[in-house]
């Protein structure tokens, strides 16, 4: 195979070996593979030229076949694309693969993410109706940095740099904001009630009106959204709220989220937004009330943690009450979570350091593969008890405590009160050390009082 492809495959093997043995963390890996600014620019220029060549090849393919190719690999033909190196980005360290798994070409090594393969065709056609031919046809994600995520080739064969979710900033695909506005205006005339796309297109158009000095047209966007989109659409209220926030229509905004909170008292987003609105309106008391409802765990700090009752991985009853008298970490994680795996050695280290000082851990697994979990526990010699339901995010205990991210650690004091719901990562050891030390002080005081009382009685 050609030299560029060979280098890419070698990098891929090196990366796989390093990550597989856990020798360096992901961020260190990025640092190790960092390119100089000059190399980055050179690779970008080569990649840009590749995309331009791909555009010409697609044009030729269309002329002969009357349709787009199913995959970019179909272009590899003397008529369209005789040089396979054009399919490889010089910054690709995945061995000739697109970054997004669904976009990996099934036929040969291709670095680029083709947006019109069979799985995407219907969705992309809808995008083109609303956003025009500036929509990405081919994307390269191998240059991602703070300024942009993707290098794009559009359906009208223009090159652009954009965020991964370009729908939020469609002007990145066009030469001017005015061109993006004109395209979306035409699209909305044709599909004003497209629920799949309305979450992005209505707020993007309203924002661009504001940014280009056309504030008087924003109300028309709001009215069109309200008349075209059903309130049954799951994101209706959130999208409407985004539009109302742009125009400072706080009274209507307040009404939207009050209705949401009334329909679902446990809707944290509604309470968070209500807290923000009341804060802007100067009602700090109601703002605090809704803030606590949006983050109910904050109200538990320093208060007793609700008990749970379950069976551990070995079928034995387990509850938080059984650990009363110890500092306990409720450790929510899963073997399918890279962040959990990366953080696990730190948790094991803290456990080994403080296990003889009144500290223990209850593992709450969000796995759905029991064998994989057991193999992991055995391989890494994890001694603390585990609760496993096989229901991932629907795990009863995770649901009970409102867990949304993993790894997540709730540190519980010896008396059952919550110390912190952020006991993971670099915070874990300091929190455990402080809790154990404080508990030792309390026990020492209790012991001294007991001795004093015994001596008093003896007299």
Residues of the chain above pLDDT 90, percent = 54
CATH number, domain 179-299: 1.25.40.10
Domain segments of the chain as ranges: 3-115+137-164, 179-299, 309-443
Q: How far is CA 349 from the centre of its chain?
A: 27
Token pair of 235 as six digits: 């994101």
Tens of pLDDT, residues 412-430: 999 999 998 888 888 899 9
State how far the Cα of 348 lies from the Cα of 343, in Å rounded to an integer: 9
pLDDT at 456 over 70: no
Residue 19: the pLDDT is: 34
Cβ–Cβ under 8 Å, residues 112 and 135: no
Closest by alpha carbon to 173, among 142, 122, 208, 145?
A: 208
Q: Which of 349-363, 392-406, 420-434 has the highest mean pLDDT?
A: 349-363
| Residues 20, 24, 28: CA angle, nearest 5 degrees | 130
Mean pLDDT of 353-377: 94
Question: Which residues, other chains included, contact 434 with Cβ-Cβ below 8 Å and sequence gap of 6+?
Answer: none
Which range is least confidently modeled, 21-25, 193-197, 273-277?
Answer: 21-25
Query: How would residue 13 be classed by pLDDT, with cut points 50, 70 and 90?
Result: very low
Q: How confident is the model at residue 262 (pLDDT cuts 50, 70, 90)?
A: confident
Residues 82-118 pLDDT 10s: 999 999 999 998 889 998 888 999 999 999 999 999 9
Contact 363, 333 (CB under 8 A): yes
Look at residue 32 and tell me whether its pLDDT is greater than 50. no
Per-residue CA distances from 224 to 110, 185, 232, 259, 395 (Å): 42, 11, 16, 21, 41
CATH of the structural domain 309-443, one choice from 3.40.720.10, 3.40.50.300, 3.40.30.10, 3.40.605.10: 3.40.30.10
Residues 219-259: tens digit of each pLDDT: 999 999 999 999 888 888 889 988 998 888 888 888 888 88
pTM: 0.61
Model confidence band, residue 457 (pLDDT cutoffs 50, 70, 90): low
In this structure, what are the phi and psi dihedrals at residue 83, rounded to the nearest 5 degrees?
Answer: -105, 110
Q: Give a three-class secondary structure readout of the chain.
A: CCHHHHHHHHHHHHHHHHHHCCCCCHHHHHHHCCCCHHHHHHHHHHHHHHHHHHHHHHHHHHHHHCCCCCCHHHHCCCCCCCCHHHHCCCCCCCCCCCCCHHHCCCCCCCCCEECCCCCCHHHHHHHHHHHHHHCEEEEECCCCCCCCCEEEEECCCCEEEECCCHHHCHHHHCCCHHHHHHHHHHHHHHCCCCHHHHHHHHHHHHHHHHHCCCHHHHHHHHHHHHHHCCCCCCCHHHHHHHHHHHCCCHHHHHHHHHHHHHHCCCCHHHHHHHHHHHHHHCCHHHHHHHHHHHCHHHHHECCECCCCEEEECCCCEEEHHHHCCCEEEEEEECCCCHHHHHHHHHHHHHHHHHHHHCEEEEEEECCCCHHHHHHHHHHCCCCCCEEECCCHHHCHHHHHCCCCCCCEEEEECCCCEEEECCCCHHHHHHHHHHHHHHHHHHHHHHHHHHHHHHHHHHC
Tell me if 179-299 shares its fold with 309-443.
Answer: no
């Amino acid at each position: 195979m050609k030299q560029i492809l060979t280098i890419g495959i070698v990098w891929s093997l090196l990366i796989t070996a390093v990550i597989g043995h856990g020798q360096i963390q992901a961020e260190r890996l990025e640092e190790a593979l960092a390119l100089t600014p000059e190399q980055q620019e050179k690779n970008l220029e080569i990649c840009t030229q590749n995309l331009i060549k791909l555009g010409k090849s697609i044009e030729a393919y269309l002329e002969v076949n009357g349709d787009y190719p199913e995959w970019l690999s179909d272009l590899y033909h003397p008529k369209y694309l005789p040089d396979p190196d054009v399919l490889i980005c010089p910054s690709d360290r995945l061995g000739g693969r697109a970054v997004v798994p669904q976009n990996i070409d099934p036929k040969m090594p291709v670095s680029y993410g083709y947006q019109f393969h069979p799985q995407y065709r219907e969705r992309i056609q809808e995008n083109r109706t609303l956003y025009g031919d500036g929509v990405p046809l081919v994307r390269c994600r191998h240059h991602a940095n703070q300024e942009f995520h993707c290098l794009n080739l559009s359906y009208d064969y223009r090159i652009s740099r954009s965020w991964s979710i370009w729908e939020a900033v469609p002007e990145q695909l066009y030469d001017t904001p005015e061109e993006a506005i004109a395209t979306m205006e035409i699209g909305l005339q044709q599909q004003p009630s497209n629920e799949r796309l309305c979450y992005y297109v209505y707020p993007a158009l309203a924002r661009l009106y504001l940014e280009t000095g056309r504030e008087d047209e924003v109300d028309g966007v709001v009215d069109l959204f309200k008349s075209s989109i059903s309130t049954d659409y799951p994101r209706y209220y959130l999208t409407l709220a985004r539009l109302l926030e742009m125009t400072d229509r706080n009274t209507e905004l307040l009404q939207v989220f009050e209705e949401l909170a009334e329909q679902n008292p446990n809707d944290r987003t509604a309470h968070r937004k209500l807290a923000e609105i009341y804060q802007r309106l100067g009602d700090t008391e109601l703002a605090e009330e809704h803030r606590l409802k949006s983050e109910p765990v904050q109200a538990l700090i320093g208060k007793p943690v609700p008990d749970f009752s379950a069976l551990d991985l070995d079928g034995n009853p387990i509850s938080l009450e059984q650990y009363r008298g110890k500092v306990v970490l409720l450790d929510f994680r899963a073997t399918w979570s890279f962040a959990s795996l990366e953080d696990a050695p730190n948790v094991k280290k803290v456990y080994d350091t403080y296990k003889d000082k009144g500290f223990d851990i209850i593992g709450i697994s969000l796995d759905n593969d029991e064998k994989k979990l057991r193999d992991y526990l055995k391989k890494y010699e994890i001694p603390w008890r585990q609760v496993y339901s096989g229901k991932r995010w629907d795990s009863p205990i995770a649901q009970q405590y409102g867990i949304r991210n993993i790894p997540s650690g709730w540190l519980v004091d010896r008396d059952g009160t919550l110390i912190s719901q952020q006991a993971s990562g670099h915070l874990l050891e300091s929190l455990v050390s402080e809790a154990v030390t404080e508990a030792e002080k309390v026990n020492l005081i209790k012991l001294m009082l007991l001795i004093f009382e015994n001596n008093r009685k003896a007299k």
